[in-house]
């Protein structure tokens, strides 16, 4: 008698159950990695923006302001403009650059020495006082970008 090869119903059910468990674990793991990567991208972009603003202030030999696009909400983007007496952007201000990003999953706030609304970049390092930190938060993770008085940035994972 010739026996045909194949799986029994019980073997198929056990195999499908194991496969379903692995899929569920990989989905939750990949969502965590995705959130972490989005946080790293936002952190890298903020580091780049701060370096750009510091470099432009030194190259132009004038004070520049980095401010959020929306009032005190850095999650929408940022603008860099030449400083004025009110430290706010208006129609008379010279806009140097605007960054826009749409990261509703990442909440970005600035807690600064001089203001929670803006950062000032001075061409004279003796008058620089940028001190503060950006707080980047997702549902599951958060990270701080600490900016010292001369514009150097370092990351701290909370």
Q: What is the pLDDT of residues 99-148, one digit of tens each?
A: 988 777 889 989 888 788 888 888 876 666 678 899 998 888 889 998 88
Residue with tokens 């150097």: 152
Q: What per-residue confidence (pLDDT) applies to 29? A: 79
Q: What per-residue confidence (pLDDT) applies to 2? A: 65
d(CA 4, CA 30): 40
pTM, two decimal places = 0.78
Q: What per-residue confidence (pLDDT) applies to 153? A: 86
Q: What per-residue confidence (pLDDT) applies to 127? A: 64
Q: Where are the domains of the chain?
A: 11-157
Residue with tokens 């909440």: 107
Which pair of structure tokens corresponds to residue 121? 């970049």
Give me the CATH topology for the region 11-157. minor pseudopilin epsh fold (3.55.40)
- C-beta of residue 121 within 8 angstroms of C-beta of residue 56: yes
């Amino acid at each position: 008698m010739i026996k045909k090869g194949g799986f029994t119903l019980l073997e198929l059910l056990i195999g499908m159950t194991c496969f379903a468990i692995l899929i569920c674990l990989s989905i939750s793991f990949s969502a965590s990695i995705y959130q972490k990567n989005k946080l790293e991208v936002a952190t890298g972009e903020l580091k780049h923006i701060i370096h750009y603003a510091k470099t432009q202030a030194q190259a132009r030999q004038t004070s520049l302001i980095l401010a959020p696009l929306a009032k005190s909400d850095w999650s929408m983007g940022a603008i860099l403009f030449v400083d004025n007496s009110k430290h706010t952007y208006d129609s008379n201000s010279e806009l140097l650059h605007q960054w826009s990003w749409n990261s509703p999953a990442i909440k970005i706030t600035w807690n600064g020495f001089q203001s929670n609304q803006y950062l000032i970049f001075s061409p004279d390092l003796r008058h620089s006082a940028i001190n503060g930190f950006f707080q980047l938060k997702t549902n599951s993770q958060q990270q701080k970008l600490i900016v010292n008085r001369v514009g150097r940035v370092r990351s701290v994972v909370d």
